[in-house]
Amino acid sequence: MVKITFPDGKTKEYPESISGIEIAKSISPGLAKEVLCMNVDGRMCDLSAKIEADAKIKFFKFSDPEGQELYWHSTSHIMAQAVIRLFPGTRVAIGPAIEQGFYYDFEHEPFTDEDLLKIETEVNKIIKENQKFERKEVSRKEALEFFRSKNEIYKVELIEALPEDAVISMYTNGEFTDLCRGPHILSTGTIKKFKTLATSGAYWRGDSKNAMLQRIYGISFPSSEELEMFLKIREEAEKRDHRKLGRELDLFSFHQEAPGIPFYHHNGVIVKQLLIDYWRYEHNKDNYKEIQTPQLMTKSLWETSGHWMNYKDNMFVTEMEGVENAVKPMNCPGGMLWYKAGLHSYRELPMRISELGHVHRKEFSGALSGLFRVIAFTQDDAHIYMRPDQIKDEILGVIRLTDRIYKTFGLEYSLALSTRGEKYIGTLENWELATAGLKAALDEYGQDYVVNEGDAAFYGPKIDIYVKNALGKAWQCGTVQLDMNLPERFDLTYVDENSDKKRVIMIHRALYGSLERFLGIILEHFGGFFPLWLAPVQVSVMPVSDKFNDFAKEVLSKLTAAAFRVDFDERSEKIGYKIREAEGVKRIPYMLVIGEKERDTGMFTIRQHKKGNIGEFTLDSFIEKIRLERDNRALPEGYKLEL
C-alpha cells in the first residue's frame, strides 16, 4: 500500500502503482472530469503517471494557472499535428503556452486566413478522435536519431544543446510525436473548444540572424461560454490597444530614428506630468524626499554594484577620455552614492528617498511593444534606508501608499511574497529576519496573498504587486524588495545609539513600475476615456455658428481661468460632427454647445461622454461641478467592460 497525503493534510491509503486519475476517481467522478494534471512530491506529472511510494499530491484544474498552462500547451501539440496533416513536409519548432493561449512556430510559407480555418477544422477532428497522450523517456542519442530521421532540424538543435547524459521525454498523440518535458492532458478529447487567433512571422529563437518561421496563435477552453467571453474581451482589448489610442488621442508616437523610445506629444506631456504631480503629492504625504542622480556614471560604480559583470549586455556603454561609462539601466547604484555622501544616525532612520529616474536598457527589436516594452523609460523608484526593527512598519507604509495610488485609478491588485531560493547572499539569520518582516507586514495588512517559495532574487525576499485592469488583465507593476546585497557592496552604515556602525537595511520599491508602462496600462484600462483630472482636454466649447464665437470665447475664458484645459472648436462644421469627434475620437469628458439659448439665458445643456445630455447648468454651477470631480480625482462611469 502507498499513503497519499493531500493538500489539506488528510491521508488515504491506496494499492501500489496507482495512477493519479484513479486517485481522482476514488475521491469523486466530478473531480476526475475536471483535473488535468498533478504535482507529486514537488514534481509536475501526467494523471496517467503511476505512484509507487508514499507521496504528497495536489491536483490542478483549468481554473488553476498550472492547469491552464498544461491545457494550452497540450492544445499546441494538437495544432502542430493538424498543420503537419494538412501541410506535409512542414518542420515544427516550439509551441509553448503563453499568458492567454499558446502559439506554435513552423518552417512554412506564410499562412493565410483560409489556412487558419482549415487548421481549426482539423484540430476539432483530432479532438473528436480522443487520442491518448503517451510519454516516453529516451536517451539523448535516441532522441537525436528519431528527430534526425524526421528531418526536424529545430528539435535536433534543441536536443544537441542538452547534456550527453540527459534523459529526454517525448510525447505521442496519434501519429504525432513531439519533444516535450510535459506533463500533458490524458487525451485530445479533454479539449472542448478551440480557435486559431492570428499568424505572424517570428525568428527562430528570437534572433534576426536565424530563419524566419511562421507563428500561429491559438486558444482553447473547457466550455463554449469561456471561449465566447475570451473573444468578447479580446475584441474590446483590440479597441483599447494603447498604441491605437496613443495615436487617436495624440499622446505619443514611435519613429525608426529612435526605436523603442517614445516621442511624447503635447497631450502626452500633459498626462505624463499629471501622473508625476499625483505621484509627488502622495509621496509628500508620506515624507519622501526626492533626489536626482546622474544618467551617465563610470564603470567602477557598476563594478561595485555587480551590474558590470551581470548586466553589461543590457547597458549602453560609452568612453570618455579613456574611461568607460554606462548610461544607467536602473537608479539604485546612484542612490547608494547619495546615501554615502553623508554620515547618518539611527535617529534619521527611516529615510524615504524617491527618484523619477530616466533609464535606458538594451532590448531586442522583436521584444519592443509600444509603451509596455521600451528602451528608455522613467522609473518611479524609491529607496528606504532603515533599521532592522523598522522593516514591518515601512513595508506596511509602502503597501498602504500603493493601495491609495492604485485605487485612485480603479485598479484592483493582488500580493505575492517571494522567499529565499537555492542561490542567495548574506546570512540565513538576515534572510529570516527580512522574510519575517515582510510576512508580518502582509499578515497585519490583512489582504490575502500567495507565497512563491524560492522565487526571491538572490539578494533578498520581495513582495510583488499585480494590478488587474478593467478587462481583467493582470500586470506586475509594484515591487517591494528587501536588499542585503547593495548595502554590503557599498558599505552603507548608520551610527546606532551606542555610537557603533551598523549595516543599514534597504527597501527598493516602485509603484507605477515605469511611467511609460503605467500610462499604457491605464490607457487600456479606461479605453482612452481618462478621468476628468487626467484628461489632456477636459471641456470642449462648440459654437453652433460664427455669430456665437464672441460669447463662446467668454465661456472659454472663464473655464480657463478656473484652471481647466479647454478646446475651442470654432470650425465651420455641423454641430453633430463636432460632438461625435469630441466624444468618440478625442474622448473629451464634457462638451458645451453654444447657441442662441445659451447666450440669451445663460443656461447651458451639458453633454458628458458616454452619458449624453446631463441637464442644464449655469456656467458657475457647471464649473463647481467639474471642480469637485477634478479635485476628488473621481473615476469615470462605464470604463469597466460589463461581463
* Mean pLDDT, residues 312-340: 91
Q: Tell me, yes or no, whether 469 and 571 share the same domain.
A: no
Final residue in a domain of this structure, among 13, 42, 60 = 60
Select which of 379, 390, 481, 538 is catalytic: 379
Question: What pLDDT is attached to residue 488?
Answer: 87
Cα–Cα distance, 139 to 145 (Å, whole number): 10
Query: What is the per-residue pLDDT for 320?
Result: 87
Q: Which of 35, 30, 31 is nearest to 47 (CA)?
A: 35
Mean pLDDT value across residues 328-335: 92
> Are residues 340 and 315 part of one domain?
no
Q: Are residues 321 and 334 in the same domain?
A: no
Phi-psi region of 268 (alpha: psi -120 to 50; beta: other; left: phi over 0): alpha
Same domain for 32 and 97? Answer: no
pLDDT in tens, 195-220: 999 999 999 988 888 999 999 999 99
Do residues 258 and 360 touch, judged by C-beta distance below 8 A? no
Q: Say how far apart CA 242 and CA 248 lie, in whole Å.
A: 10
Residue 214, SS3 per DSSP: strand
Q: How confident is the model at residue 131 (pLDDT cuts 50, 70, 90)?
A: very high
Residue 213, domain member (yes or no)? yes
Closest CA to 425 of 462, 382, 461, 390: 461
Banded pLDDT at 638 (limits 50, 70, 90): confident
Render 367-409 in DSSP notation, one character per residue.
G-BTTTB-SEEEEEEEEEEE-GGGHHHHHHHHHHHHHHHHHHT
Q: For the beta carbon of residue 289, count every other beta carbon within 10 angstroms.
A: 12
Which of 13, 41, 60 is the last residue in one of the domains? Answer: 60
Is residue 412 located within the same domain as residue 309? no
| CATH for 152 | 3.30.980.10
Instruction: Read off the C-alpha cell for 372.
Output: 509596455
| Span of 55-69, 147-161, 399-413, 419-433 with lowest mean pLDDT | 419-433
Q: Which of 360, 508, 517, 607 is catalytic?
A: 508
Q: Which of 155, 215, 240, 361 is catalytic?
A: 361
For residue 410, the surrounding DSSP H or E stretch is: none
In tens, the pLDDT along 585-621 reads 999 999 999 999 999 999 999 999 988 999 999 999 9
Provide the domain count of the chain: 5
Q: Write down the catalytic residue from 332, 420, 569, 609.
A: 332
Q: What is the mean pLDDT of residues 542-560?
A: 94
Domain final residue, candidates 60, 80, 96: 60
| 255 is known as an active-site residue | no
Is 588 in the same domain as 577?
yes
Contact criterion met (CB below 8 Å) for 239 and 482:
no
Nearest CA among 207, 214, 196 for reference residue 107: 214
Q: Give the burial class of 237: count Cβ atoms within 10 A of its Cβ; 0-12 exposed, 13-18 middle, 19 or more buried.
A: middle
Of 413, 415, 417, the closest CA to residue 452 belongs to: 417
Which one is catalytic: 115, 380, 381, 569? 381
The alpha carbon dihedral of 484, 489, 494, 496 has a sign of: positive
361 is catalytic: yes
**Chain length of the chain:** 643
The per-residue pLDDT for 643 is 56
Residue 265 in any domain: the answer is no
Active-site annotation holds for 508? yes
Q: In the predicted model, what is the mean pLDDT of the chain?
A: 92
Task: Give the residue among 504, 522, 510 at the shortest CA–CA distance from 463.
Answer: 510
462 is annotated as an active-site residue: yes
* Residue bearing cell 539601466: 329
Q: Is 381 a catalytic residue?
A: yes
Q: Place 179 in a pLDDT band, splitting at 50, 70 and 90.
A: very high
- How sure is the predictor about 642, in pLDDT bands with cuts at 50, 70 and 90? low
Active site residue 344: no
Same domain, 161 and 284: no
Residue 259 counted as domain residue: no
Instruction: Quote the domain boundaries for residue 543.
Output: 539-631
Confirm whether 264 is domain-assigned: no
Confidence (pLDDT) at 532:
97
Q: What is the CATH number of the domain that holds 497?
A: 3.30.930.10
Helical packing angle, 619-631 and 549-561, nearest 10°: 40
Which of the residues 439, 462, 509, 578 is marked catalytic? 462
In whole angstroms, give the CA distance from residue 307 to residue 184.
39
How far, in Å, CA of 248 to CA of 180, rounded? 44
For residue 57, what are the β-bridge partners? 40
Residue 433 has pLDDT above 60, yes or no: yes
Indicate whether 261 belongs to any domain. Answer: no
The answer to whether position 643 is within a domain reads no
Report the pLDDT value the prediction gives residue 266, as an integer from 0 to 100: 97
Are 392 and 326 in contact by the 8 Å Cβ rule? The answer is: no
Q: Which of 303-312, 373-382, 445-454, 580-589 has the lowest mean pLDDT?
A: 303-312
Identify residue 359 by its one-letter amino acid code: V
Same-domain pairing of 596 and 490: no
Confirm whether 477 is a catalytic residue.
Answer: no
Q: Tell me, yes or no, whether 360 and 474 share the same domain.
A: yes
Q: What angle do CA 602, 606, 607 make, to 5 degrees?
A: 155
Whether residues 577 and 589 fall in one domain: yes
Establish if 222 belongs to a structural domain.
yes
Within 10 A of 630 (CB to CB), how many other CB atoms are there? 19
Residue whose C-alpha is closest to residue 240's, from 41, 33, 526 = 526
One domain for residues 397 and 307: no
Q: Give me the catalytic one of 77, 215, 272, 383.
A: 383
262 in any annotated domain:
no
The answer to whether residues 188 and 164 belong to one domain is yes
Domain containing 55 — which CATH number? Answer: 3.10.20.30
Give the residue among 477, 557, 281 at the shortest CA–CA distance from 273: 281
